[in-house]
């Protein structure tokens, strides 16, 4: 509910309080009285029919065409008007640009200068996707290498003396979470690549790093170990990762897919891996650790070099993993319905019955009952859009509810894809958060 508080009146009456010292006591009393009257007027105005119309305007509106925005405000009561604004500028090619490409906003104003409400407009993008629910193996290599920690090192000099040396990386200012992209102007592909460049430069290296997405340059002197005949930087790094998750849905025309519903992050630094290359593969669920209150359960799966390759990975971001399926694979093995379903707009999702598609230890997709228990209104993409509760006794018996590895499992309601599982509630494994499928579909490209 929009509330026009007495603060508006207070600002109008006293924002030039420094000048009031020039007024007489009587003048100040008149001005204060006017402020009180104005406050009362605005409080009463909150309950007027005009304000009720404003309160009933949703915060987010999905329209069939851009031209409908002006029509939406055609019945706006006096003394209100509105102004339509361009959305926040974003970097070209960024995730925000993809999500907000069809978004504008309008500010509803009282008397033309008191803002009372902001309405976000999205021009509808209609998506028809094939829901999946198949468990997958995820393997990716990072752009550059991720620093997960630093440590002092032990070196041996040419005369056999052993000594402890402070970490050269830490001394130079390298910290956990830094991503090393270049060394001495050469792009870094993996850990061995960095070691080779360091040794060839006799330990004198200038590193280009990304810290909180900002590039920096750091120069360090590595310590030489004569026994191992190599230079040591004194840091732990990671250039790849692997795990399991669930593919959510794909476009049968472009074969672009979305999976997981949240980012793949480094377990030590919580840094989101920036993808250089990667694949999703066939995964066999071999066991299930049942979820309990205070203890997250987990799907245990295996995949390897002999597993069937399903597709490539293009993007890993806070809203999931995205890529393209290989054209020669059997896409029917990934889907439950084998036909496209419409993706619901967030405003279409309702509390009540729904189903979840997911894979258990027989490696076959199953459909299980759940219910949507809580909705969150969103003017922009967020990973926690609504809450579901698992109600199917079969799923509860095997998993206890939602477990790790089920992230990305699609949720179906009234014949539409409404969202995907993103997080389990540790204190109540029967419930979990879901992201609206519409946001993920917008990022598929």
Reduced 3-state DSSP string for the chain: CCCCCHHHHHHHHHCCHHHHHHCCHHHHHHHHHHHHHHHHHHHHHCCCHHHHHHHCCCCEEEECCCCHHHHHCCCCCCCEEEEEECCCCCCCCCHHHHHHCCEEEEEEEECCCEEEEEEEEEECCCCEEEECCCEEEEEEEEEEEEEEEECCEEEECCCCCEEEECCHHHHHCCCCCCEEEEECCEECCCHHHHHHHHHHCCCEEEEEEEECCEEEEEEEECEEECCCCEEECCEEEEEEEEEEEEEEEECCCCCEEEECCCCCECCCCCCECCEEEEEEEECEEEEEECCECCECCEEEEECCCCCCEEEEEEEEECCEEEEEECCCCCHHHHCCCCCCEEECCHHHCCCEEEEEEEECCCCCEEEEEEEEEEECCCCCCCCCCEEEEECCHHHHHHHCCCCECCCCCEEEECCEEEEEEEEEECCEEEEEEEEEHHHHHHHCC
Query: Taking Cα atoms as reference points, which of 358, 139, 135 lies closest to residue 243?
Result: 139
Looking at residues 110-128, what average pLDDT do you find?
79
* 91 vs 398, more confident: 398
pLDDT band at 436 (very low <50, low <70, confident <90, very high): very high
* 68 vs 297, more confident: 297
Beta-carbon contacts of 331 under 8 Å, excluding residues fewer than 6 positions away, are 130, 250, 252, 255, 325
Q: Is 393 exposed, middle or buried (0-12, 13-18, 19+ CB in 10 A)?
A: exposed
pLDDT at 132: 94
pLDDT at 46: 63
Distances (CA, A) of 436 to 104, 209, 215, 262, 287: 19, 34, 33, 12, 29
Q: How many whole angstroms separate alpha carbon 258 and alpha carbon 133?
A: 11
End-to-end CA distance of the chain: 36
Tell whether the model's pLDDT for residue 68 goes beyond 90.
no
CB 172 within 8 A of CB 144: no
Mean pLDDT of the chain: 83
The residues that are catalytic are: 262, 392, 407
pLDDT at 41: 64
Tell whether the model's pLDDT for residue 374 goes beyond 80.
yes
- φ, ψ at 306 (rounded to 5°): -90, -5
pLDDT band at 93 (very low <50, low <70, confident <90, very high): low
pLDDT digits (tens, 9 = 90+) for 182-221: 999 999 888 888 889 998 998 899 999 998 888 999 998 8
Neighbours of 67 (CB within 10 A): 9
Tell whether the model's pLDDT for residue 99 goes beyond 90.
no
The residue whose two tokens read 């204190």 is 427
Q: How many whole angstroms separate alpha carbon 259 and alpha carbon 94?
A: 19
- What domains, with CATH codes, occur in the chain? 6-123 (no CATH), 130-151+234-445 (2.40.10.120), 152-233 (2.30.42.10)
Q: How many whole angstroms separate alpha carbon 216 and alpha carbon 233?
A: 18
Give percent of the chain above pLDDT 90: 36
Tell whether the model's pLDDT for residue 94 goes beyond 70.
no
3-7, 185-189, 192-196, 381-385: least confidently modelled range? 3-7
CB 295 within 8 A of CB 237: no
Q: How many whole angstroms separate alpha carbon 310 and alpha carbon 245?
A: 13
Q: Please tell me the pTM assigned to this model.
A: 0.79
Tell whether the model's pLDDT for residue 13 goes beyond 90.
no
Q: How many whole angstroms separate alpha carbon 425 and alpha carbon 263?
A: 17
pLDDT at 395: 93
pLDDT at 209: 92
Query: Taking Cα atoms as reference points, which of 131, 60, 120 lies closest to residue 418?
Result: 131
Q: How many whole angstroms separate alpha carbon 206 and alpha carbon 181?
A: 11
pLDDT at 422: 93
């Amino acid at each position: 509910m929009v509330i026009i508080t007495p603060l508006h009146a207070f600002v109008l009456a006293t924002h030039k309080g420094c000048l009031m010292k020039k007024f007489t006591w009587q003048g100040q009393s008149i001005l204060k009285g006017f402020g009180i009257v104005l406050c009362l007027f605005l409080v009463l105005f909150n309950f007027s029919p005009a304000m009720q119309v404003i309160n009933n305007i949703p915060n987010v509106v999905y329209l069939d065409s851009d031209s409908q925005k002006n029509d939406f405000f055609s019945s706006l009561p006096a003394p209100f008007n509105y102004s339509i604004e361009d959305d926040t500028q974003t970097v070209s090619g960024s995730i925000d640009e993809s999500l907000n490409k069809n978004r504008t906003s309008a500010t509803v104003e009282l008397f033309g200068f008191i803002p009372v409400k902001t309405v976000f407009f999205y021009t509808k993008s209609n998506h028809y996707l094939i829901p999946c629910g198949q468990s997958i193996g995820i393997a990716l290599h990072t752009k550059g290498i991720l620093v997960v920690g630093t440590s002092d090192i032990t070196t041996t000099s040419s005369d056999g003396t052993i000594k402890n040396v402070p970490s050269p990386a830490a001394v130079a200012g390298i910290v956990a979470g830094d991503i090393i992209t270049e060394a001495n102007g050469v792009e870094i592909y993996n850990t061995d690549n960095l070691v080779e460049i360091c040794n060839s430069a006799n330990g004198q290296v200038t590193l280009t790093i990304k810290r909180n997405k900002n590039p920096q340059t750091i120069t360090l002197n590595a310590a030489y170990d004569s026994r191992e005949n190599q230079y040591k930087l004194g840091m732990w790094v990671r250039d790849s990762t692997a795990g399991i998750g669930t593919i959510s849905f794909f476009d049968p025309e472009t074969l672009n897919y979305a999976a997981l519903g949240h980012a793949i992050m480094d377990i030590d630094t919580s840094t989101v891996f920036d993808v250089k290359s990667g694949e999703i593969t066939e995964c066999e669920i071999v066991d299930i650790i049942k979820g309990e209150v205070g203890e997250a359960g987990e799907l245990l799966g295996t995949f390897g070099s002999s597993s069937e390759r399903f597709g490539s990975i293009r993007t890993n971001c806070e809203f999931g993993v995205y890529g393209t399926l290989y054209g020669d694979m059997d896409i029917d093995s990934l889907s439950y319905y084998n036909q496209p379903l419409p993706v619901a707009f967030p405003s279409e999702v309702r509390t009540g019955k729904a189903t979840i598609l997911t894979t258990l230890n027989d490696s076959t997709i199953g459909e299980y009952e759940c219910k949507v228990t809580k909705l969150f209104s969103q003017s922009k993409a967020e990973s926690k859009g609504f809450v579901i509760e698992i109600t199917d006794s079969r799923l509860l018996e095997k998993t206890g509810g939602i477990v790790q590895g089920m992230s990305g499992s699609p949720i179906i309601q009234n014949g539409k894809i409404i969202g995907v599982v993103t997080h389990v509630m540790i204190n109540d494994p029967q419930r979990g958060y879901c992201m609206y499928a519409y946001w993920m579909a917008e990022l598929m490209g």
